[in-house]
Amino acid sequence: MNEQRGSHRIELMAWSEAATLAMPLRERVFVVEQGVPPELEMDEFDAVCRHAVVRTTDGTVIATGRLLPDGHIGRMAVDAGWRKHGVGGQVLEALVAEAASLGMAEVVLNAQVHAQAFYERHGFAAEGEVFMEAGIEHRAMRRRLSG
């Protein structure tokens, strides 16, 4: 799936295509900005995920996220200069649409607590208690898919 959105394009791809595109942004956001240990940032699940990558018309990667085969969405990252411009929501909705096209009944994610309202605006409901992951407070969230 490729979707054009004005000055940027969303593409869904396998890790073999996404790795060199997504990892620099993920390292900047998670490791540098948020202090996540590098060994926790990359895991064995990347290889089996569908990855959303957003690039500007000049090829600059500005956002990414992934969908695991079990319906978990994760590794949502948006370049600092593109936050609050709707790009993260576009990535999230592209991953939700991919899950629906694969016949999944629901998607789940572990939201950083500060981003919980963002996910709620996209139809996710919080579940359970706040927990720590990579030194950051998270909350499990779920969105049922129609159909």
List per-block mean pLDDT (blocks of 10 residues) for the chain, which spans 147 residues: 68 96 95 88 92 95 97 95 92 97 96 94 96 91 88
With respect to CATH, is domain 2-104 assigned 1.10.10.60?
Answer: no
pLDDT at 5: 56
- The pair of structure tokens assigned to 37 is 């240990």
Distances from the Cα of 48 to the Cαs of 23, 70, 132, 136, in angstroms? 15, 10, 25, 25
How is residue 137 written in tokens? Answer: 């407070």
Tell me what pLDDT residue 32 has. Answer: 93
Question: What are the tokens at 82?
Answer: 């593109």
Residue 135: what pLDDT? 85
Per-residue confidence (pLDDT) for residue 37, from 0 to 100: 86
Q: How many residues does the chain have?
A: 147
Global pTM?
0.91
Residue 23's pLDDT is: 95
